[in-house]
Structure 1
């Protein structure tokens, strides 16, 4: 299956593994790439640019296929050396960077000089058009169904994708709520040229998270996510557990939400250590998209991608037959 995305990225299938904090490590990224998609290492999962460079080398030992690096650029209390992380990716020979968060314009010249393709993840058409204007090679358009930060517009992919496709000239990747080949086919019909998956890849054999987390996704349905930080205009979709429910309750109190009341509950280190590593699915906040309603097993990445491509091809052929 060839699209502008497969040609641009040098991959067999138009399937990209999104950058995920604590999860986007060499084990998962290499498995996705070996299966025919594009694996992504998450830069800020690594404690320093030097550690990112070493993780790139570790990933390269596991695959001879292309893989990328995610660089999420956000305002932080403690300054993050984003430029150094970007340079570490370049020094490691990475040719695809997925940016997210702030406008990546300041990094475009550096990436251009080093032959790096830039995919910017965004949650609205206006931000996708801005990414195109500043020189990004492609955009990953994230619908309201997604895990993590879906923006504040609350537009699902059934509307967001065709609107974006009608206005963009660069290739578009559909992101958010996608977990099978039927949805891949649907995304292609809506104007995308590939899909980006995060949550679905967490529930694979190679994902470096505790088995309890993967099984919780299998056991869950599409209603078991919730939105936090709505009162702070920094909405995030997470798995619906007791901690997430407590956060929602605090935000529902009259008056302005004080982040200090939320911070002990939502601390990233708590989610990483207690949930992703120790396997206590009630131990902290962890991101998950509505696609958990479609997750019924824990396959290898190779099994997942092969199945998705078979599903996509079969449904495209079947629908084409309707034309006679």
Structure 2
């Protein structure tokens, strides 16, 4: 396939693996890149910039295809050394970075001077336009169906994607709610030139997740996700389990809720333990409504071949109907 996204990133198919905490390691990223998409290492999964450098080396030992690094920039009392992670990306010759959270404006000039392509993930058109003005190369637009943080506007992809492609001059990657070639075809019909998938890649052979968690994703329906942090204005979508139910119950209690009231429940280490141990109720498991479309656990190669074939079939069928 050939779109501005494949040309920009140097990949065969316009399919990007989203950056996911504890999941975006060399095992998954290399498999996606070898299959023709863009695998993505999650920088903050690594405990330090030095550890990220080692993970980049490990990924290079597993693929000779392009791969990227995700860096989610969030305000916190003790922020990670974002500038040092950026230096590692540049020093190691990685040519694609996916940014999310706050604006990457402070790093854009340096990244572009070193030939790094920047794909920024947004949940609204206004933020996408700001990112375009700041100089990013492409925008990944995240619909309300997505896992992780869908923003506070609650606009789903069927509306958000065509709004973004109408407003932006740079390429748009559709993210959220895509698990198969039908979704990819729909996104392209709406003007997107690539897709970004997170939850779907969690249910693959190469994903570094316990088999019991993968099976939970297969069993789940589109109704089995939960919105948390709504009252804190930092909405997140996760797989429904005992922890997410307790978080929502805490938010709804009389008198309201502060983050400190749920902090221990939602800690990253608890989520990491759940993914690695297979104990579904041990911590948060981030997942999008797209779980309702996941029925198996293929290899990344099998998944991408299936998606591309189904996308072509869907576009041809739609074209025939129009004719």
- Per-residue CA deviation, residues 217-239 of structure 1 (Å, 9 max, x unaligned), is 00110000000001110110001
Show the counterpart of 1:64.
64
Q: Alpha-carbon deviation of 1:315?
A: 1.1
- In structure 1, what is the Cα distance between the partners aligned to 2:322 and 2:126? 35
Show the counterpart of 1:300.
299
Alignment of 1:17-166 (within 5 A): 17-166=17-166
Residue segments in structure 2 that go unaligned for 5+ positions in a row: none
Show the counterpart of 1:11.
11
- In structure 1, what is the Cα distance between the partners aligned to 2:37 and 2:271? 28
- In structure 2, what is the Cα distance between the partners aligned to 1:158 and 1:70? 25
Show the counterpart of 1:278.
277
Spell out structure 1 runs of 4+ moving beyond 3 A: none
Q: Alpha-carbon deviation of 1:318?
A: 1.4
- In structure 2, what is the Cα distance between the partners aligned to 1:25 and 1:205? 13
- In structure 2, what is the Cα distance between the partners aligned to 1:257 and 1:319? 48
Further displaced range: 258-267 or 99-108: 258-267
Show the counterpart of 2:220.
220
- In structure 2, what is the Cα distance between the partners aligned to 1:286 and 1:215? 13
- In structure 1, what is the Cα distance between the partners aligned to 2:128 and 2:68? 20
Show the counterpart of 2:209.
209
Alpha carbons of structure 1 residues 242 and 319: separation in structure 2 relative to 1, 3 Å: same
- In structure 2, what is the Cα distance between the partners aligned to 1:281 and 1:80? 28
- Aligned CA-pair RMSD: 0.7
Alpha carbons of structure 1 residues 79 and 323: separation in structure 2 relative to 1, 3 Å: closer
SS at match of 2:61: helix
- Per-residue CA deviation, residues 199-248 of structure 1 (Å, 9 max, x unaligned), is 00000000001001100000110000000001110110001001100110
SS at match of 1:192: coil
Q: Alpha-carbon deviation of 1:123?
A: 0.2
Further displaced range: 146-155 or 262-271: 262-271
The TM-score, its normalising length taken from structure 1, stands at 0.99
Q: Alpha-carbon deviation of 1:259?
A: 1.8
- In structure 2, what is the Cα distance between the partners aligned to 1:6 and 1:269? 35
Residue segments in structure 1 that go unaligned for 5+ positions in a row: none
Count of residue correspondences:
323
SS at match of 2:100: strand
- In structure 2, what is the Cα distance between the partners aligned to 1:76 and 1:61? 34
- In structure 1, what is the Cα distance between the partners aligned to 2:132 and 2:49? 27
Show the counterpart of 1:190.
190
Q: Alpha-carbon deviation of 1:166?
A: 0.7
Further displaced range: 76-85 or 41-50: 76-85
- In structure 2, what is the Cα distance between the partners aligned to 1:163 and 1:260? 37
Matched, 1:317 2:312: no
Alignment of 1:225-264 (within 5 A): 225-264=225-264
- In structure 2, what is the Cα distance between the partners aligned to 1:226 and 1:277? 21
Q: Alpha-carbon deviation of 1:271?
A: 1.0
- Per-residue CA deviation, residues 135-168 of structure 1 (Å, 9 max, x unaligned), is 0000000000000000000000000000111110
